[in-house]
Structure 1
Amino acid sequence: MCRTIDVTDLVDQQDQLYNNRKRKGLINKIDKLIDNVVESQFVLYTPHFAMSFAQVLYTHKKCVEAAYIQEGGMIYRNTIITHLPILKRIWCFVVDNLYRHTNRVWSAYGWYMPGKLYKQKDLDSYAISNVFFKYLPSTNHIIKWPHINIPLTVKDNANVFVFDGFTKNGLIEQGFYLDKCKELIKMFAQSYNYIKFHPAQSKEECNTIKLYFDMQGREYTILDNSIPFEIILASTSGLSVIGFGSSLLYFARDLGHTVHCMDRWLQGSPLYIQYKNAFGLDDF
C-alpha cells in the first residue's frame, strides 16, 4: 500500500528557507509533517538537491540516505558539480555556517554537490536509461514505465506535436518561438495530429499555435494535461513526436518512438542560447 501526501503548499514556500527570519518556522513545519506521517527511518528519493525543500528532508533525523530518481528527460550537465574550487568552497562555508547558522539548508549550485550527501558512502540513481544520470557519480538502475490502459485513445503511428513553456519561463522570445512553431507545423503536420501543450503556456499562445494548424487545414486533438504524456508514451507504440528542446522528446526517444527534435532552429534566439549554455544542455 502506498500513501500519498500533497506537500505542494510547503514546496511553494521553500524560498523562505533562504530567509533568516522565516527559515526556522518553515523547517519546523516540514519536520512536524515528517514526524507525524513517517513512523520509521526513510530513504529519500528526489530528482535533485538544487531545491532547498529536498535538503531539509535529507537532513531530517529520520532520513538515512538519499537516491536520485529521474523526473525530466533533458541532461543538465552543468548542474552535476563534482568539484568545487577552493574559493567556492570557502564561500559556501561562510554562507552556510556563519550567515545562515544552519546545516539544514546549503548553498546549492546544482543538482549534486560533493560532500553534501554525508549520510552515505554510495549513491544510487533510477532512470529509464543510463543516459540521464551519466554525469552523476552514482550506480544507475534501469526502471521501466508501466503499460497502463489510459482513458484516451491515441492512434499508433500518429504525429504528436509537443510544445513548451519557454516563453513564460523567460527562455526564449515569444515572437521568435511562435514563428518556429509555425514552421514546425508547416513541415510535419499530417491530415490528423495530436497536440501536447505545456501547462506554462498562455491561452493566447496556445490559440495562436492552434490557428497555425487551422491555416494548414490540419485537424488535431489536444491531449489533456491531466494524463501525463509519459504514460501515453509508455502505453503506445510507433509515435512520431515532434518539437523543440522538451524533456518529453527525450523520454519519447528512450521509449522507442520516432522523434523529430528541431532544437537547432532555436539557435537564433539569444535567450535560448544563454539558457542552453548556462545549464550545459547536451545536444539531442
Structure 2
Amino acid sequence: MKFIFHVHSNINLSTALATVDFLKLNYEDVLFLLFRGVGTNVTSVNCIVMDDSLILHNYANLRALKTKSMFLNREKVEIIDSVLDEFLKGDVFTYFCPNTKNPFYQIYLTHEKCVQINYIEDGFDAYLDKNDLLAKFPLKEHYIDRLLSLLMPFFESTSSTRVKYGRYMYDNYGYSKSRFFHIGKGAFLHSNPNDRFHVPINYKANINSNVCFVFDALVEQEIITHDSLLHYLIRSCSIMKDELKVDTLAVKFHPMQTISLRAELISIMSNFFQVEVIEDSVILENYFIASGGLKVFGFGSSLLIYASLNDTNNVYPLYTMIDKSDYLDTRRPGLWKKTFSKMKNINDIQVIL
C-alpha cells in the first residue's frame, strides 16, 4: 500500500506531515504531490512538484463549456496518471485530499489503483457545519453539470469517466469509511467523531512583532473588488493605529496574491506601521496554534480560526467593516459570521469603534 497526499497550502502540508507521523507510515511509501510552490523544502518523504496548470484547469464546469477546455482533459489526466504509475509500480494507494467534489480530485479516486480516500484539513471549509457546507456546495446538480455529463461521454478527449463532480464534499470512498485528519480541534465537526483524528504539531518561527495581519484572496476569489480591498485596508490600518495603538505589524499574504498587489498593500500599510513581511514558507497556522499573546487581524482568512485556537491570542476579523453593497459574493459574510461566532477570543472591531 502506498499513501499519496495532495498538498497545495500550508495547512495541507502541516496536516499531511502530522498525519504521516500520527499513522506511523513508512516514509518510503509516502508521496506528496506539491502545488503552488508549497512544501518544496520537505525531505522526509517522497515529493514531486506538480505543474499548477493541472489543478487550475477547468475540467467540467461552465467555463470548461465556454472555452472547450474539457477537450484537453485527457492530456491532463495522462500527466497525472504517469506520475502515479511511476511511483506506485503496480501497488495500490490511499489518497489524502481536501475534498472529493472538485473534478481534479476525482481523477485520483477514479484511478484503477486507488482503494481508499481520506481527508486532510484545508482551512475554512473544514470548520463549516454540514448545513453551511451544503449551502456553499449544494448537492443539487446544476444544469451545466447535467449538460456536460450528457455531452462529454461522446468525446474520448474529455476523459468523462475520470472527471466528474462528487455529490458531496466528503463522501465515503474505498474499502472502509473515509477518515478525517486535522490539526485544529474544531475541524470536521460534521463528521462522525469516531472517524475524526486530531494530529498534534509543534512549530516555531522567527517573527518579531506580536501583531499580525493575515490576508485572504478577497480579490482573486471575487469576494470584493480591488478598489474595495484598498479602501477597507486603509480604514483598518487607521483604526489599528489610532484606536489600538499598533506600531509594528507582521504581514502574511495569501499564496494567490500577486507580487504587484503585495507591493501595493505593503505601500499602504507602511504609511501606518513598521511592516515585517512573513515569508510564504512559514506555516502560520502552526505558529498561531503553538504561540500565544498575539494580536491577529484579517478580513476573513481561515488563519484567524487557527489564531483563535490558542486561548491567549486576540483575534480581530475585519469583515464586519465591509458594507454589504461592496460584496461580490453575498454569501460570504454570513458564513464568516456563523463560523467566527463559534470561536474563542474573537473581537468585533465595530464594538471597539
Coarse TM-score class (shorter-chain normalised): 0.7 to 0.9
How far apart are the structure 2 equivalents of 1:262 and 1:277? 11
Q: Which moved more, 1:40-49 or 1:220-229?
A: 220-229
Match of 1:154 in 2: 208
SS of alignment partner, residue 221 of structure 1: strand
Match of 1:30 in 2: 80
1:263 is aligned to 2:290: no
TM-score, scaled relative to structure 2: 0.65
1:4 is aligned to 2:47: yes
Q: Which moved more, 1:32-41 or 1:72-81?
A: 72-81
How far apart are the structure 1 equivalents of 2:79 and 2:92? 18
Does the 8 A contact of 1:27 with 1:56 survive in 2? yes
Match of 2:227 in 1: 175
Letter in 1 for 2:84: I
Unpaired runs of 5+ residues, structure 1, are none
Does the 8 A contact of 2:222 with 2:329 survive in 1? no
Q: Which moved more, 1:232-241 or 1:12-21?
A: 12-21
Deviation at 1:83, TM superposition (A): 8.2
How many residues matched?
273
Does the 8 A contact of 2:59 with 2:103 survive in 1? no
How far apart are the structure 2 equivalents of 1:121 and 1:255? 34
Selected match of 1:56 from 89, 92, 107: 107
1:199 is aligned to 2:255: yes
Does the 8 A contact of 2:106 with 2:162 survive in 1? yes
How far apart are the structure 2 equivalents of 1:89 and 1:204? 36
Match of 1:282 in 2: 338
Deviation at 1:241, TM superposition (A): 0.6
Letter in 2 for 1:106: K
Match of 2:300 in 1: 245
Moved over 4 A (4+): 16-20, 79-85, 89-95, 202-205, 277-281
Unpaired runs of 5+ residues, structure 2, are 1-26, 28-44, 154-159, 341-353
- The correspondence of residues 205-216 of structure 1 with structure 2, limited to 5 A, is 205-216=261-272
How far apart are the structure 1 equivalents of 2:59 and 2:119? 24
What whole-Å deviation, never above 9, does each CA across 1:138-158 have from its counterpart, x for those lacking one? 72211223324x4x2435xx1
Selected match of 1:233 from 277, 282, 288: 288
CA gap 1:206/1:27 in 2 versus in 1, 3 angstroms? closer
CA gap 1:222/1:269 in 2 versus in 1, 3 angstroms? farther
1:186 is aligned to 2:238: yes
CA RMSD of aligned residues (A): 3.3
Does the 8 A contact of 1:230 with 1:251 survive in 2? yes
How far apart are the structure 1 equivalents of 2:227 and 2:213? 19
Match of 2:151 in 1: 99
CA gap 1:163/1:174 in 2 versus in 1, 3 angstroms? same
Higher relative CO (Cα under 8 Å, sequence separation at least 6) belongs to 1
Deviation at 1:208, TM superposition (A): 4.4
SS of alignment partner, residue 338 of structure 2: coil
How far apart are the structure 1 equivalents of 2:329 and 2:76? 36
TM-score, scaled relative to structure 1: 0.79
Percent of aligned positions that are identical? 19
How far apart are the structure 2 equivalents of 1:16 and 1:230? 31
Letter in 2 for 1:6: V
Does the 8 A contact of 1:168 with 1:200 survive in 2? yes
Deviation at 1:253, TM superposition (A): 1.2
Does the 8 A contact of 2:102 with 2:165 survive in 1? no
Deviation at 1:236, TM superposition (A): 2.8
